[in-house]
Amino acid sequence: MSEKRAKESTILLRIRGKTIKLELFPATSWGGPAGCYRLRIGGRWHSPSNGKYEFFAPAGIAGLVASLLRGEPVNPKARPELRRGDRVRVPTGNGAYDKTFVAGPPILGMDGRWWVTVAGSEEIVAVDTLLPQERGKP
């Protein structure tokens, strides 16, 4: 059964005589963050960590396209096991950490790092900078 949701963009790459079709769908159609996309390559959903839904920031898609053009395999790190509502501590930039929680699913960035949105911030935060926050602990 074909996808009924409307795609926002299509990118066609012709590399060494082979055409690769990338289709970009707004992540919000699946409950993902605004400004990000779900990606279908060659008619198959691109999900590097085999998750049900994976969302990509525009910079992450640009990095993926650049990798495809160079003929490199696209093998990012496994998707982090973070879910909406998980408690974390976020660096403030002055050596301290603020307590908050994850507000959206992990997003693969152009730099190959995973990023998440957190409550109380309009900026996405690199997952590798977060510290776990256990309930009832300072």
Helix (H, G, I), strand (E, B) or coil at 46: coil
pLDDT in tens, 96-129: 999 999 998 888 776 677 889 999 888 889 898 9
Domain count within the chain: 1
Domain that holds residue 4: 1-79+105-119
Does the residue 124 lie in any domain? no
Does the residue 57 lie in any domain? yes
Does the residue 54 lie in any domain? yes
Which residue is listed with tokens 């949701």?
5
Strand partners, 15: 18
pLDDT in tens, 50-103: 678 888 888 888 888 888 888 776 666 677 889 999 999 998 888 899 999 999
The Cα–Cα gap between 33 and 42 comes to 24
Does the residue 98 lie in any domain? no
Mean pLDDT over residues 39-51, rounded?
Answer: 82
Does the residue 15 lie in any domain? yes
Which residue is listed with tokens 């935060």?
125
Does the residue 34 lie in any domain? yes
pLDDT of residue 137: 59
